[in-house]
Structure 1
Amino acid sequence: MNCSYREVCEAAARAGGEVLRGWLGRIRAREKGRNDLVTEADVESQQVIQRLVLTRFPEHLFLGEESTDEGRPDLRQAFESDTPVWIVDPLDGTTNFVHGLPAFSVSVAVSQRGRTVAGVVYDPIADECFSATAGGGAFLNGEAIRVSDCRSLDQALVAASFSAHVERDSPEIRRFVEVMMRCQAIRRFGSAALNLCYVAAGRLDGYWATSVKAWDVAAGCLILAEAGGQVTHIDGRPFSLLDPRFASSATESLHGELVEVLKAAG
């Protein structure tokens, strides 16, 4: 069944990506909150994905970023249910998308009792489809991928995600500065799903995030884990989509070093 789920994840992600390609360059955005944009592209992408998923699995739950509060299932209750739940970000990297920056993606995952069993992240501009099933490995356009062998922070290319507006003395800034002082280089790409996949593919060595939701990272965390990477809560505890602030790394030794720096700074 996991293979079937992966196939539907991929079909849904590619369908959403096709919508985004059609909207690129002709976007009207509105604000959900400060620096929190929603576009017609987000909404249409989710509609296409939801229709495809629920046509195939009408009894399943659907949790999408653009779902209304009334139509969005409670994640904790969903994880306690035997009913599979689809966790979808129809456009991860909305700000990049609105500005025409080609760093955004579609993320589709399916979870059972709190465990992600299949996931796909699709970059519609690069036509890169990252996928994984639990216990089945991680792939990029059908070819197996693996994390890098980076073992120390001073050799690591790292990415970070946190809110755009934070105080100068906030933990987010302290973490960023402390890691920046110790790593080879640091990046902020603006798509959590792609960042996780880049660690999975060996393009990045580490990544941490404090401002993400379950739909941003459900697929990417599975893909990274299946590629041999490490994912924990930002303080080193086991990772949970119910509190998806996390640190991720290519290797265990690098992960221990990154988590210690993040904990000391935050």
Structure 2
Amino acid sequence: MRELSVMKQAAREAGTILLEMQGKIVAREKGPADLVTEADVAAQHCIQRVLEAEFPDYGFLGEESDSAGGTVSESCRWVVDPIDGTTNYVHGFDNYSVSIALQQEAVVAGVIFDPVHNRMYSASLGGGAFLNDVPIRTSDVGSLDKALVAASFPPGVQREAVEVKHFVEVLVKCQALRRLGSAALNLCYVAEGKLDAYWATSLKIWDAAAGLLVVTEAGGSMSNIEGGPVNLAKPRLIVASTDSLLKEMVDTLALVTE
């Protein structure tokens, strides 16, 4: 699809900006422990310019502006996170990405670009998932004791928070547990079989829209934390390589009460 090609172009151009600006930026807080940088803003402006030049009638929903340009109607809009993993970016930790999704009620296309390692993940609805144009699939791991798992926490999580209890509960049951700092890349790592499962409780639509399409098109399973459908507007989600691992993750998190 033509949109997917333009999305890749926009992601690559934004990635070039991020690489050029890393180490030269000033960060400011937009909330407790939540950083935004000049690079976020510059990358989003670049993405919007590229997309709007080809598709001027599409709406645009970006993390750094919420609604910039056109309408934010779900009937046809871009959903953009210019840096997914801003804290990693600020600290020079090379695990961050550019995420762009096309939503037409459902998400129909998504790209996630890791500029440091030149890794372009992409998917279209019904068209499969790819890494640098090579098809990818999830692992076949079906049980938590054999699974490498990742988690995302909200900024400023407290010691008594349910997220910490979830973390401990999974930690003692899985093979290993990671907290890597980029939700979009975590989803892609499940899609390509590097990770076997991932869960998060406080994502925004721009964190998850593209990545969820990539992981499901790669054969992965997903649900909300309680095992029901994912609400993309407020994603509290689990993704896993297999249905059996997803069920075990849901059951494990259900052991924790707030």
Specify the TM-score bucket, using the shorter chain as the normaliser: over 0.9
Q: Secondary structure at the match of 2:99?
A: strand
Shifted more, 11-20 versus 221-230: the winner is 11-20
Once the two structures are TM-superposed, the CA of residue 31 in structure 1 deviates from its matched residue by: 0.8
Q: Distance in 2 between matches of 1:238 and 1:132?
A: 20
Q: Distance in 1 between matches of 2:188 and 2:108?
A: 16
Give the TM-score normalised by structure 2.
Answer: 0.96
Residues 2-21 of structure 1: pairs in structure 2 closer than 5 A? 3-21=1-19
Equivalent pairs, count: 257
Letter in 1 for 2:18: L
Q: 1:36 to 1:120 in 2, by over 3 A?
A: same
* Contact 1:153 1:257 (C-alpha < 8 Å) held by counterparts: yes
Once the two structures are TM-superposed, the CA of residue 97 in structure 1 deviates from its matched residue by: 0.4
Q: Which of 21, 24, 32 is the aligned partner of 2:22?
A: 24
1:16-67, CA deviations, whole angstroms, 9 ceiling, x for partnerless residues? 1111011111121111111111100000000000011111111110000011
Residues 42-81 of structure 1: pairs in structure 2 closer than 5 A? 42-67=40-65, 78-79=73-74
Aligned to 1:166: 157
Verify: 1:234 aligned to 2:225, yes or no: yes
Q: Percent identity, aligned pairs only?
A: 52
Verify: 1:216 aligned to 2:207, yes or no: yes
Aligned to 2:37: 39
Q: Distance in 1 between matches of 2:193 and 2:214?
A: 12
1:172-223, CA deviations, whole angstroms, 9 ceiling, x for partnerless residues? 1111000001000000000000000000000000000112100011000000
* Contact 2:61 2:67 (C-alpha < 8 Å) held by counterparts: no
Q: Distance in 1 between matches of 2:180 and 2:18?
A: 18
Structure 1: segments with no counterpart, 5+ residues: none
Structure 2: segments with no counterpart, 5+ residues: none
Q: Secondary structure at the match of 2:29?
A: strand
Verify: 1:108 aligned to 2:100, yes or no: yes
Residues 91-102 of structure 1: pairs in structure 2 closer than 5 A? 91-102=83-94
Q: 1:73 to 1:192 in 2, by over 3 A?
A: farther
Q: Distance in 2 between matches of 1:54 and 1:70?
A: 11
Q: 1:205 to 1:35 in 2, by over 3 A?
A: same
Task: Indicate the RMSD between aligned Cα atoms, in angstroms.
Answer: 1.4
